[in-house]
Amino acid sequence: MSDGSDHPLESLSAYLDGELEGAPAAEVRAHLERCARCRGDLDDLRAIAAAMKEGAPPLPGELTDRIKSRLAREGAGATVVRFPRRLWIPSAAAATIGAVALLAIVTLRQRPAEPVPIEPETQASKTLADAHPPEPEAKRDAPPLRKRVAVKEPAPRNAPAPPPRFDAMTRSEADERRNLAASDAPRAAPPMAVGGVAASREARTRPCDFDLATPLAGWTWTVRDRTEAIAALRAAVASTDGRVRLVLDPAFEVAGSPSDLAAIRSAIERLGAVTPDPVESPSEPAECVRRVVRLAEASPE
Amino acid sequence: MLPAMDVSEATWIERARKGDRRAFDRLVDAHAAAVWRVAWRIVRHREDAEDVVQETFLAAFRSMPEFRGEAAFSTWLHQIARSRALNHLQRASERGRRASAPLDADREESVPDRREPSPLRALESKELLRRLAECFEKLPAPWKAVLALRDAESLSYEAIAEAVGIELGTVRSRLARARFALKDCVDGGTR
């Protein structure tokens, strides 16, 4: 990396970290001897690195009490499950066979999530990345399978799809949820928003929105064919180390073709950690299930 | 061999492994401040850091039966905190909820003028921290991650590559870009 004037910026950064040895380190040292600007940059980077270690405010006084309260309330039973985007699978084909929604029910045991790969930036809004475009990724992830909010009403196709809904909300997320409608408009349509279904603000504040206090969290996906459905199953199982029980909602049998459903059902059985039996979660609000049904019926193209 | 630890902590850990929540509460008391610092240094946002700390201890409690003591309890706890904090960065980025105002067009297109002396080092420590927080917020999540893990958490490039799931070379180039973007932003506020 260079700024176009032969200043070895990337090497300078690595040099700062002691990551250069031998000839590369000698080159940087030689450059530093004759380049006051880079010496200054190096000092600046050191100052920033030092400052990055500072500035943590003191532990909020009541935080440990809140932690203990949550432990008492939901210590063994709550669900916090992540869907690493890295594990989401891309769309298989543009042609749509049918929409199949899967209801995933998380088992009560939960281990800490594996480190989640951070994706290259995808924000529509401009940030510092715009001034410094990202480097080509050595390992570029496939586009994600779009996880959608269960919605109430179908909307015109090609409408912007809502942002991914996370299964478990933290407090601040819950607050933000109320403002989600405002965040829809400026976001670019995701790459898989074929046959997109708009989510209304009302729909998201209904009982389908789960939070950490909900004993069983529900996920819904809208997928466009059996390939995506099976990929979603695999991603769910992989991302939770098998501690997820997937249930094929019986309502969706009317939405997919028999062969698709047979393939999906077979995949569920092969994955092992899931059940092929259509079982409704006892804690799942009935309205939520019905809404999912409506989504499934509305989505096939 | 188990790492050295306070005898009473070893007792709490053993009890907590068996599901004793009160014993785990003692561990919360003992480690909350350190976990808070880890969380804050990565997300650099108060509410997010609070969420990360809570999630960390909840996850740790549920995973206590799997804690074998190969590493120190604090090390294990901090790994969970880092993982949760990275999750938070990613989710915040996806929602775009804290997207900052864009830089002006000239700055977006141009290479920073590197002939002028940097005023960054002349900043008061408090002002530097303020600008750092402001500029860090504008970085994309992947850059925040490598920057925080390296400069704040002092992780090796290898550990960062593993934690974030990217190649070593990407760590190096991304880190450089993040650092100079951050530096330019902080500098920009002084010109």
User: What backbone phi and psi angles, to 5 degrees, belong to A133?
Assistant: -55, 145
Please report the pLDDT score of residue A151 as a whole number: 27
The kind and range of the H/E element at A258 are helix A258-271
Quick one: which of A77, A21, A186 has its CA closest to A29?
Answer: A21
Please report the pLDDT score of residue A52 as a whole number: 86
Please report the pLDDT score of residue A153 as a whole number: 29
Percent of chain A at pLDDT exceeding 70: 23
Q: How far apart are CA B191 and CA A158, in angstroms?
A: 45
The tokens describing A24, both together, are 């590369």
Grouping H, G, I as helix, E, B as strand and the rest as coil, residue A240 is coil
DSSP letters spanning B154-167: ---HHHHHHHHT--
Q: How far apart are CA A147 and CA A139, in angstroms?
A: 22
Quick one: which of A127, A122, A13, A128 has its CA closest to B112?
Answer: A128
Q: Assess whether pLDDT exceeds 60 at residue B50.
A: yes
Paired strand residues for A97: none
CB within 8 Å of chain A, chain B residues 11-70: 19, 21, 24-25, 28-29, 32-33, 36-37, 40-41, 46-48, 50-51, 53-63, 66
DSSP letters spanning B64-99: GGG--SSS-HHHHHHHHHHHHHHHHHHHHHHHTTTP
Tokens 């405002």 correspond to A182
CA dihedral (B139, A85, A94, A156) positive or negative: negative
Q: What are the residue ranges of helices labelled H in chain B?
A: 7-17, 21-43, 46-63, 73-95, 105-109, 125-138, 141-147, 157-164, 168-188
Average confidence (pLDDT) over B63-69: 83
Q: What's the order of all strands across the beta sheet hosting A244-248? A: A218-219, A102-106, A244-248
pLDDT digits (tens, 9 = 90+) for A40-85: 888 888 888 888 888 788 898 889 999 998 888 766 543 333 332 2
Measured between beta carbons, the chain B residues lying within 8 angstroms of A74 are 58
Q: Assess whether pLDDT exceeds 90 at residue B31.
A: yes
The tokens describing A255, both together, are 């939405």
CA closest to B83 among chain A residues: A115
Pairs of CB atoms within 8 A across A/B: 272
Best of A19, A52, A240 to disrupt the B interface by mutation (most B CBs within 10 Å)? Answer: A52
Q: Which of A13, A80, A131 sits opposite B58 (nearest CB)?
A: A80
CB-facing half-sphere around the CA of A93: CA atoms within 13 A: 8
The tokens describing A128, both together, are 């510092």
pLDDT digits (tens, 9 = 90+) for A256-278: 455 666 666 666 666 544 443 33
Inter-residue contact A228 to A299 (CB < 8 Å): no
Determine whether the interchain pair A135/B61 forms a contact, defined as Cβ–Cβ distance below 8 Å: no
For B70-93, letters b (16+ CB in 10 Å) and e give eeebbebbbbbbbbbbbbbbbbbb
Q: Assess whether pLDDT exceeds 50 at residue A21.
A: yes
Widest Cα–Cα separation across chain B: 62
Best of B40, B80, B172, B184 to disrupt the A interface by mutation (most A CBs within 10 Å)? Answer: B172
Inter-residue contact A121 to A85 (CB < 8 Å): no
Q: What Rg do the C-alpha atoms of chain B give, in angstroms?
A: 19
The tokens describing B178, both together, are 């993040």
- B175: contact with A, CB 8 A cutoff: yes
pLDDT digits (tens, 9 = 90+) for A23-45: 888 999 998 998 888 888 888 88
Classify the phi-psi angles of A145: left when phi > 0, otherwise alpha if psi is within -120 to 50, otherwise beta.
beta
Q: How far apart are CA A110 and CA A133, in angstroms?
A: 38
Please report the pLDDT score of residue B94 as a whole number: 63
Q: Which of B37, B100, B108 sits opposite A56 (nearest CB)?
A: B37
CB neighbour class for B130 (10 Å; exposed up to 12, middle 13-18, buried from 19) = middle
Q: Measured between CA atoms, how close is B182 to chain A, in angstroms?
A: 8
**Confidence band, pLDDT 50/70/90 cuts, at residue A189:** very low
Q: Assess whether pLDDT exceeds 90 at residue B162.
A: no
Inter-residue contact A63 to A267 (CB < 8 Å): no
Residue B116: what residue type?
E
Q: Assess whether pLDDT exceeds 60 at residue B21.
A: yes
Residue A221: what residue type?
W
Assessment of whether the complete model's pTM goes beyond 0.80: no
Grouping H, G, I as helix, E, B as strand and the rest as coil, residue A156 is coil
- A39: contact with B, CB 8 A cutoff: no
Question: What ipTM goes with this model?
Answer: 0.78
Best of A132, A139, A184, A187 to disrupt the B interface by mutation (most B CBs within 10 Å)? Answer: A132
pLDDT digits (tens, 9 = 90+) for A120-153: 333 333 445 445 554 444 333 333 323 332 222 2
Please report the pLDDT score of residue A114 as a whole number: 39
Percent of chain B at pLDDT exceeding 90: 30
Tokens 């004793």 correspond to B20
**Confidence band, pLDDT 50/70/90 cuts, at residue A227:** low
